[in-house]
Amino acid sequence: MSEKLQKVLARAGHGSRREMEALITEGRVSVDGKAATLGDRVESNAVIRIDGHVVKTKPADELICRVLAYHKPEGEMCTRHDPEGRPTVFDRLPILSEGRWIAVGRLDVNTSGLLLFTTDGELANRLMHPSHEVEREYAVRVFGEVNEAMLQRLRKGVQLEDGMAKFNKIKPAGGEGLNQWFNVTLTEGRNREVRRLWESQEVQVSRLMRVRYGDVKLDRGVPRGGWQELKLTEVNYLRSLVGMQPETESKVDVHADSKGSRHKQAAQIRRAVKRHKELQSAGGRARTPASRRRPSTRNSGGSK
C-alpha cells in the first residue's frame, strides 16, 4: 500500500512531517529519479533520495520508537547546525546506528530544562500539533511587582500579537521581594509564549525552565547536558496521548535499573558533558560525528 512521502521520510528519522514537507517543496527530494512534489504517495519499493542520497526506509512495524529526555542547558540552540558555531542541543546526544534524533518542539536559547527527542517523526509531529493540547509545565522566576489582579488576567487570557493566550495554572513557588518564582502550565507551543505572557504584565522573566511535558518530568538526577532514555511504558504513554498504537519493543535494557547499568549511563553522560565543555572553553564547538550526519534540515531555535 502506498503512503504519503513526507510520512515515510519522517518515520525513517529524517525529521518531522513539517520538516519533510519543506524539503519536498525546496526540490531536495526525488522518487525513482523524478523530483517529488507535495501530495506524492510512494510504494514500499520506491527509491527515495534527499539531496541525491538514498534514504533507507522501513515499514512501520519494523521500527522501534525511542524517546530521550534531555536536560537542556541555557545557551544551546535548538537547531542541527548553527551558522555562528554556537553549541546546539544535538551535539551531545548518543549516536544512533540508524535514523536520527528529532526534537519535539523547541526551547529558547535562554531557556533550560526538559526537551524530548524521538526517532519517530510521526510521534514528534503529533506531539507538537496544537490539537493534542499536551500540557507543559515551567518553573519561572520573574522580576517585578506581581499582584493577584495580574495573575487573574494571565489565567483568564491576554491579547498577544498572535492572538489570545493564557496560563492554565499558576502556582507561587517561593522567592521574596521583586524576585519571585512561579510554576505555570499551558498546552500551546507558540514562540516565546511564557515570556511574552509575563512581559504583557510589565514584568521581566529572569529564569525559565521546563520541568514537565505531559506526565514526563525532568529527572533531577540528570545533569545539564545529560539525557535519559524513556522506558517502554513511558514511550507508550506519549504515544497514547496522540492516538498512536503502543510499541511492543524497547531499546532500553530490561536491567536498566541495576546499579551497573545506571553507573554506565552516568559515566557516558559525564564524558559527553565534559567533552562539550572542553570544546566550548577552547573556543570551538562540539562537532557532530560523521556517523551521525544526515542531509540537513533547518530547525530554528526559539520557543518559550
**CATH fit for domain 64-131+216-292, picks 3.30.420.40, 3.30.2350.10, 2.40.340.10, 3.40.50.300:** 3.30.2350.10
Q: What DSSP designation does 56 have?
A: P
The structure's pTM equals 0.74
Question: What is the distance between the alpha carbons of residues 27 and 19, in angstroms, rounded to a whole number?
Answer: 13
The continuous run of DSSP H or E covering 272 comes out as helix 259-281
Is 60 exceeded by the pLDDT of residue 8? yes
**CATH fit for domain 3-61, picks 2.60.40.3670, 2.160.10.10, 3.30.70.260, 3.10.290.10:** 3.10.290.10
8 A C-beta contact, residue 286 and residue 92: yes
- Cell triple for 77: 540552540
For residue 236, the number of C-alpha atoms closer than 13 Å in the C-beta half-sphere is 9
Where does 135-213 sit in CATH, by number? 3.30.2350.10
pLDDT tens per residue, range 227-272: 999 999 999 999 999 999 898 877 775 445 544 455 555 666 666 6
Say how many C-beta atoms besides its own lie within 10 A of residue 276's C-beta.
18
The continuous run of DSSP H or E covering 238 comes out as helix 232-241
pLDDT tens per residue, range 68-113: 999 999 999 998 888 888 899 999 898 887 778 999 999 999 999 9
- In the chain, CATH 3.30.2350.10 covers 64-131+216-292, 135-213
- In the chain, CATH 3.10.290.10 covers 3-61
What is the identity of the amino acid at 239?
R
pLDDT tens per residue, range 135-162: 999 999 999 889 999 999 999 999 999 8
Residues designated as active site: 108
Question: What is the distance between the alpha carbons of residues 69 and 127, in angstroms, rounded to a whole number?
Answer: 14
